[in-house]
Structure 1
Amino acid sequence: MKNILIICLLFIGIQAHSQQTIILKDTETGEPIQYAHYLYQNQKGTSSLSGDISIKFITEEMLHISHVNYGKLEISSDRLQEAIKNGVLTLTQSYISLLPTTVIARANSSAKSDIMKVRISDKLSHDAGDFLSQSAMIGGIRKSGSYGFDPVLRGFKYDQLNLVMDNGMSATAACPNRMDPPASQIPMSMVDRVEIVKGPHSLRYGNAFGGSIHFKSAPASFSETTKVFGRASGSYESNGNIFRTEAMAGAKGKFYNFGIYGAYSEGDDYEDGNGNKTPSGFNRRNIGMSSVFKLSGSQSIKLSANNNFAKDVDFPALNMDLRKDDTWLLNLSHKINFKNSNFSSLSTSFYGSFVDHSMDNLTKDLNPRTVNAITLAKTKNYGGRSEASFQFKNSSLFSGIDYKAEEAEGTRSREMLMGPKSGTTFFDNLWQDSKISKVALFGEYHFALQEVYFVASTRLEHNSAKSREITTEFINANPESQSDKLNVSASFGATHDFSKQIRMGLWLGRAERSGSLTERFINYLAVDVDPYERIGNAKLKSEVNYQLDYNFTWKTDQSELDITLFASMLRDYISAEIRPDLSPRLATAPGVKQYYNIDKAVMRGFEFSWYQKITSSIYHKVNVAYTYGKNMDFNQPLPEIPPLDIRYALGASFCRNKFHPEIMIRHALKQNRISNNYGESKTPAFTIADIKASYDFSDKIKLIGGVRNLFDEAYYEHLNRSVKGSNKAIYAPGRSFYLTLAISLM
């Protein structure tokens, strides 16, 4: 009996010893992952409140993990062995993939279908709008050759898109013509990934009427001992004599991570494919810092501050050029994680952006020069949010409250140089010291039923607007200038993996958006494609978007196909109509248009992407995007929608994955669908080719070079505005050679 007992104890000990315990942790937060279901051959279970799972290792066997926030994962045998050795397996949240989303990640991302990646060379970009336009699904409204590109996603633009950085921070354009759109204020040197949610389906960080573009900085890492890190890169582009540089240096320890960022860019006029010069000079610098401190094992605080300064930027499509733009972006956030509780975390942040903008026509080549005009404008965009996160066995809940305010003030002076009023100076109150305040409750619920993942999202927002310096001429057109709206937005979607290769998703959303500062309060100023002056409408109805999205994904080890279809029904769509009873301020304007609501409009389209690994070292990929828009009231196309865009790339990886050549071909079809009422013109088709190559001398030094517009094609985008005083659009740069050197000590 004694011997039998000893044998049993030995057997139990051997079994205990053969069982390996691994802690599942989140890659970004380092917190344990609870309620993760795992299957390992015939071993299965659920991770504990401390993130533990116990398995007996089996050679060449895959570990399958399923979690509502992380999706379905397959962990290779090699990675599992490494995790057993370290005692930790880190997972990256992928619940964002349950939405109709494109994730633009760092270059070391393993996602094959990413349309583009935030490479170290992209951190040199002085304009995030230009960076986004590398994607077929995102166009850019261009009033300058090199600066201030405004994103257009599926025909949605301006305030119809929710463009934020790090969970809510944004900026408001001080220029009524948006020389300084929010995208131009994003410090790309700090961006680690970009999440683009198509449609009104992500409502946690603001009113995503037509889509959400979320720029995210890198999660902070810590070290048991003090370590320093940094990187530096610089580039030169021949056409336009463009020089860019950026650098970062920092230090981290057990309880802190601190970094300082800086970037500088400048350029001159470039030549288009016909050899004609396009005014496109610019000068831009950025300096900033980001610091994260651990207050305890479960609490951290983050502070970031950035200053963007631009000067002497040419805008050939506008009456004025940018003389100076001085912008501060500030963000303070706190997060506390709760262990062994369904109440997972509480995140609170406060942010603000402050724009000081000046522009004039003093350096414009005007003949005759009838007026000297100068505009000084300022905007503020500030607020805060607090979000609670709950984690249950088969579901997650995010809920909270946020507040955001936008303020704008600005005055234009016009010194008359000719005519009977020569010597007289007029002052125009453009923004009327207007303000919009938004207070909202929001929630997003993720849950799984029978291998189907669901996402339900809602947002209840109170929107109030007022002018604190309303002018007499504005009152004549708007008897009431204050408005209050209650906007209700909601979305519901489901995603299901029909097999290891096939995933489908379906989402239905409704979003409601009140008018912007421009649409409510702009005061006799031409701000759109046509030369008509615009006046705001304080009593605009909120426009409503009812949208359906369908996504099909097919993935194998060698290929990945992604197709997205969408249809949008728009009610009370905001547009502009002529007011024959109003007279413009400037003789160059044919009249005045006031913003109003179209009863019905529609938009529909698709995105298509395909990646294929031809051999172990050669790949190719294609991306296609198209949007159709129609004003149902007038039976004509909606304005500023780009044509069908096709992009193809063929690339390779040679020399032990050190040498990466790639050739890219882009074809945009002719755009015949134009809005005559909006002053649009048809755009011819074009085809361009680019080539590039990079070589990794080591894991710290990379050299990148290439040629843009290889065949020196003369072309322009449909969304490019026309040069002021002519019907000629701003042509894109002709052939341009570039070279980039990047050094990383991360």
Structure 2
Amino acid sequence: MKLKHIAIICALFPIALLGQENKEKKNDTLTTKPIKLSTVIITGQTNTDPVMTSVKTEIAKKIVQPRNVADLFKDLNGFSLIKRGNYAIDPSFRASQYEQLNIQFDGGTKVMHACPNRMDPITTHVIPEEIEKIEVIKGPYSVRYGATFAGIINLVTQKTYLAEKGLHGSVNSGYESNGNSSVSMLKLQQVSSKFDITGNFGFRDFGNYKDGDETEIPSSFRSIDYGLKVGYDLSDNQRLQAGWRQSFGRDVLHAGLPMDTDEDNSSILSLDYRFTNSDGLLKEINAKSYYSYVDHIMSNTNRPSFRMTEAISTIDAATFGGKIEFKLIPSDKLTIYSGVDAFLVARDGLRTRLVKRNMMGEPLDNPMSFDDKVWQDSYINDYGVFTEGKYAISNKTLLTAGIRYDLIASNIQDPEADFNILYPDLGKRTENNISVTSSVKYIPTSNFMIEFAYGRGVRSANMIERYINHFTVGQDPYEYVGNPFLDAEVNNQFEIGIKGKWDIKHSFINTFKYGISTYYSIYENYIVPVIDPTLERKFMPNAQPQEVKRFVNTDESYKTGFEVLAKIGFLQDFSFKTELSYAYTQNKDLNESLPLTPPLVTRLDLGFEKERFWVNVNYTLTAKQEEIATSFREQETKGYTTLDIRLGVKPIESITIGVAALNVFDVTYNNHLNFSFKNQAGFERVPINDPGRNFSAFVQYRF
């Protein structure tokens, strides 16, 4: 299986030789212009970028001490965090999450979690200090970046080849008071006219934090990460780049999950190639291939259930992918992107249980051992073909339309006996999905833009929804059973967006920026787990709840909401920003909200920035959430407010110092999307509280 898919990576390599014979002698000079790889989605060109986009930059000034990449989404409008502890954190956007979001980095590389409880999402396998910006397409409004249901998130890492020639580097070190946590990172890079190499090494050691009531939350973890990136300009119009990353998580406590992570090891290999051509119909060829592997070990050694049953799971996930895209310009008004891609996921592993006591709590003379198949040796392969065109109706109006076809092949190769009895017709299954998008961008002036968009995003069921077999994998305590014959989810999303800017000639106010977008999604075949009275609890049969959930398709669900932005610049160096985000969801079949729907969030942000000094004050108001999914045992969540203050200074050009006071008023609160404590000594089944007051500091030296 692995050899088959690694061949995909090798197959893309010969493309790097394309056009090599046309290399000219002038390319040997030191003035060769750097070749930019197609690792970004949003280029800053308003008339060619996708519609309904947002970009987060200047990340270092906002997040002083990121635990992992998920922290970078904390203050991004429209986003919330799904928290199971201090490590396994997933971003949620507009009440969509997990595989509903197409999360990748550098234009296509992916890492899929091995743990069915998502102890190891993609946000844990990339160093946050590497991330230069976050790009977001807010819905299924592009078909170029893989199958997309509710939005595309691209984590863009720093570009070595754009740096100045010579040897560069940086050393970072940081400390966080709440949890006695520390972070360190070293980065080195060498850049020449044709060749560049970057290496980095990071270490994170986070302890258990305390909430506003001084209650200690089990949430400690350690991780070591390193990466190597090598690039070479084959000619003045060709670039080849290879990347290698590894991450090692150790002793990770997950307060909201039934087990903890003993080890989490991931490896990512990627290869990128770009060819550009100034003449003819074909302007660009962009190719990418990657392979990632996650080896995950989790156990209940430190949990109350260990007294009755020892449990350890050793599981793995392999992800393979690739893409070849051609950019053609038949005329001055028309640009066409067309290509093929692949996204292949395979998982396997066992949970070994040693039952030491009977149901009455009495020790067994001969403990009994059982092996449970977690993933049942399953795979899901997605092969896609796409075409997207941009047509300039006028110099002020751009029309974009695209169509995508995905062939999904899935199979379960080692099913448990009871799963085989439940589904006697198991075997390889193929699905055919069609996604389309159409949008109009109208730019009457350089300071105003209005966008209209429609997208039909299609998502086939993920591996949990298809093949999980009596495991507790949700935010509630039910056992879940998969359904291999689920129909694909469909999101018909409509959106209108307006962006504008006024340059004001006034002694007090300098600029005014604003933006608003509102959307409405009609869901078809929405996938949810519901109680199936024909199923009985398999593990710990006397535990509550006795009912078992099975994944099914529902007929009528929808989502609507909006985001608002208003920002003024005043007195040259000051700014004040207000952001609001709200999502409303409804599952008419169950007569309740969709699970994990965030409440209304309002952010007020006051900033002051000079070349060598900056201050940021952020006041966040989170409303109570009364719209809940009762079938998931969700509870209404109280509203709360938090105040964060950040300050940075560059005493000299090579040194940056930052300090922060987070949750200044030491508020005790929990976000509506936080999971509840599970199998945790000393805690009832209540939502996990977020950290109380926290002081943070970091220093960076560049050379």
Q: Considering the TM-score relative to the shorter chain, is it more than 0.5? A: yes
- What amino acid sits opposite 2:120 in the alignment? D
1:122–1:188 contact (8 Å) kept in structure 2: no
Q: Which residue does 2:21 correspond to in 1?
A: none
Q: Which residue of 1 aligns with 2:24?
A: none
- For 1:730, the equivalent position in structure 2 comes to 688
Q: TM-score, normalised by structure 1?
A: 0.84
Kindly state the Cα deviation for residue 716 of structure 1 after the two structures are TM-superposed: 0.5
Alignment partner of 1:314 is 2:253: yes
* Structure 2 counterpart of 1:158: 98
- Aligned partner of 1:484 in structure 2 is 430
Match in the other structure for 2:327 = 389
| Corresponding position of 1:172 | 112
Please provide the CA RMSD for this pair.
2.1
Q: How does 1:583-594 map to 2 (within 5 A)?
A: 583-587=536-540, 588=543, 589-594=545-550
Hey, what does 1:683 align to over in structure 2? Answer: 637
2:478 aligns with 532
Aligned to 2:76: 135
Measure, in 2, the Cα distance between the counterparts of 1:206 and 1:500: 31
Contact 2:64–2:659, Cα closer than 8 Å, also in 1: no
| Cα drift, residue 134 of structure 1 | 2.5
1:649 and 2:595 correspond: no
Q: Which secondary structure does the structure 2 equivalent of 1:201 belong to? A: coil
User: 2:376 touches 2:414 (CA, 8 Å); kept in 1?
Assistant: yes
Q: Does residue 719 of structure 1 match 2:663?
A: no
Counterpart AA for 2:389 = Y
- Alignment of 1:29 onto 2:35: yes
Query: Which residue identity lines up with residue 595 of structure 1 in the other structure?
Result: F
Matched, 1:472 2:413: no
User: Residue 513 of structure 1 corresponds to which residue in structure 2?
Assistant: 459
Letter of the 2:424 partner, please give it: P
> Which secondary structure state, in structure 2, belongs to the residue aligned with residue 159 of structure 1?
helix
**Residues 328-339 of structure 1 aligned to structure 2 (within 5 Å):** 328-339=267-278
Give the aligned partner of residue 701 of structure 1.
655
Question: Structure 1 residue 583: deviation in Å?
Answer: 1.7
Are the counterparts in 2 of residues 455 and 493 from structure 1 also a CA contact under 8 Å?
Answer: yes
Q: Kindly state the Cα deviation for residue 28 of structure 1 after the two structures are TM-superposed.
A: 6.9
- Range moving further from structure 2, 266-275 or 421-430: 421-430
CA distance in 2, matches of 1:153, 1:312: 29
CA pair 96-699 structure 1, distance change in 2 beyond 3 A: farther
Q: 1:478 to 1:367 in 2, by over 3 A?
A: closer
After TM superposition, give the deviation of residue 736 of structure 1 in Å. Answer: 0.6
CA contact (8 A) 1:121 1:233 kept: no
CA shift for structure 1 position 393? 1.2
1:535-574 pair list within 5 angstroms: 535-557=481-503, 558-574=511-527
Report how far residue 552 of structure 1 moved: 0.8
Matches within 5 A, 1:227-246: 227-246=166-185
Q: Is the 8 A contact 2:300 2:306 kept in 1?
A: no
Ranges in structure 2 where 5+ consecutive residues have no aligned partner? 1-30, 504-510
Match of 1:100 in 2: 52
> In the TM superposition, what is the alpha-carbon distance from 1:469 to its structure 2 partner?
0.3
* Contact map agreement 1:244 1:263 (CA 8 A) in 2: yes
In structure 1, the residue matched to 2:575 is 619
Contact 1:370 1:416 in 2 (8 A): yes
- Contact persistence 1:222–1:254 (CA under 8 A): no
Q: Identity rate of aligned residues, in percent?
A: 26
SS of residue paired to 1:221: helix
The answer to whether structure 1 residue 373 and structure 2 residue 311 are counterparts is: yes
Question: Which one of 235, 241, 244 corresponds to residue 302 of structure 1?
Answer: 241
Deviation at 1:711, TM superposition (A): 0.5
1:577 is matched by which residue type in structure 2?
Answer: V
Residues 377 and 367 (structure 1 numbering): CA distance in 2 closer, same or farther, change over 3 Å? closer
Letter in 2 for 1:99: V
Query: How much does 1:187 deviate?
Result: 2.8
CA gap 1:28/1:650 in 2 versus in 1, 3 angstroms: farther
In 1, Cα distance between the equivalents of 2:259 and 2:33?
Answer: 48
Match of 1:672 among 615, 618, 626: 626
Shift of 1:633: 1.4
1:123–1:246 contact (8 Å) kept in structure 2: no
Alpha-carbon distance, 1:449 to partner: 1.1
Residue 267 of structure 1 corresponds to 206
Q: Is 1:199 paired with 2:139?
A: yes
Counterpart-to-counterpart distance in 2, 1:663 and 1:689: 7
- The verdict on how the C-alpha distance between 1:231 and 1:513 changes in structure 2, with shifts beyond 3 A counting, is same
- 1:590 positional shift: 2.1
1:348 equivalent to 2:287? Answer yes
TM-score, normalising length from structure 2?
0.89
In structure 1, what is the equivalent of residue 22 of structure 2?
Answer: none
CA contact (8 A) 2:197 2:228 kept: yes
Cα pair 1:259 1:291 within 8 Å, conserved: yes
For 2:47 and 2:398, locate their aligned partners in 1 and report how far apart those are by CA, in whole Å.
Answer: 9
Count, aligned residues: 648
Letter matched to residue 735 of structure 1: R
Quote how far apart the aligned CAs of 1:150 are: 1.0
- Paired with 2:412 and 2:568, the residues of 1 have a C-alpha distance of 55
1:202 deviates by: 2.1
The CA distance in 2 between the partners of 1:714 and 1:729, in whole Å, is 12
CA contact (8 A) 1:520 1:540 kept: yes
Q: Is the 8 A contact 1:671 1:718 kept in 2?
A: yes
Higher-Rg member (1/2): 1
Q: Quick check: 1:222–1:255 contact (8 Å CA) kept in 2?
A: no
**Mapped partners of 1:530, 1:643: distance in 2:** 19
Deviation at 1:479, TM superposition (A): 2.5
Is the contact made by 2:64 and 2:658 (CA closer than 8 Å) also made in structure 1? no
How much does 1:708 deviate? 0.2
Distance 1:443 1:368, change over 3 A: closer
Q: Give the Cα separation in 2 of the matches to 1:626 and 1:458.
A: 30
Q: Give yes or no for contact 1:230–1:247 (8 Å, CA) kept in 2.
A: yes
Contact residue 174 and residue 408 of structure 1 kept, 8 A: yes
Partner SS for 2:595: coil
Partner amino acid for 2:631? N
| Matched-pair contact (CA < 8 Å) for 2:233–2:240 | yes
1:484-541 CA deviation, whole Å, 9 max, x = no partner? 1101001111111233432110001111111001111111101001211111100000
- Structure of greater relative contact order (alpha carbons < 8 Å, 6+ residues apart): 2
Structure 1 residues 130, 330: CA separation in 2 closer, same or farther (over 3 Å shift)? same
Partner of 1:455: 400
- Specify the SS of the correspondent of 2:652: coil
Q: Larger deviation: 491-500 or 299-308?
A: 491-500
Q: Does residue 1:407 correspond to 2:346, yes or no?
A: yes
**CA distance in 1: counterparts of 2:98 and 2:595, whole angstroms:** 13
Aligned partner of residue 423 in structure 1, secondary structure: strand
8 A contact 2:515–2:564 mirrored in 1:
yes
Matched, 1:576 2:529: yes
Q: Is the 8 A contact 1:203 1:442 kept in 2?
A: yes
| TM-aligned CA deviation for residue 133 of structure 1 | 2.3
> What does 1:36-75 align with in structure 2 at a 5 Å threshold?
none
Residue 228 (structure 2) aligns with = 289
The structure-2 alpha-carbon separation of the partners of 1:310 and 1:556, relative to structure 1 and needing over 3 Å to count, comes to: same
**3-state secondary structure, aligned to 1:677:** helix
The change in CA–CA distance for 1:93 and 1:744 in structure 2 (over 3 A counts) is: farther
1:445 pairs with 2:375: no
The Cα shift of 1:686 comes to 0.3
Secondary structure class of the residue paired with 2:99: helix
CA distance in 1, matches of 2:55, 2:33: 17
Rate the CA distance shift 1:597–1:734 in 2: closer, same or farther, 3 A.
same
Structure 2 CA distance for aligned equivalents of residues 341 and 123 of structure 1: 48
Q: Whole-Å Cα distance in 2 between the matches of residues 246 and 738 of structure 1?
A: 16
Amino acid at match of 1:243: S
> In the TM superposition, what is the alpha-carbon distance from 1:215 to its structure 2 partner?
1.1
Describe the shift of the 1:100–1:175 C-alpha distance in structure 2 as closer, same or farther (beyond 3 A).
same
* C-alpha separation in 2, matches of 1:462 and 1:122: 40
Per-residue deviation, residues 245-276 of structure 1 (Å, max 9, x unmatched): 12210111111111001111111111100111
Secondary structure in 1 matching 2:556: strand
1:596 to partner: Cα distance? 0.5
Q: What residue is the counterpart of 2:20 in the other structure?
A: none
Name the SS for the 2:420 alignment partner: helix
Q: Which residue of 1 aligns with 2:18?
A: none
- Distance between the aligned counterparts of 1:625 and 1:539, measured in 2? 36
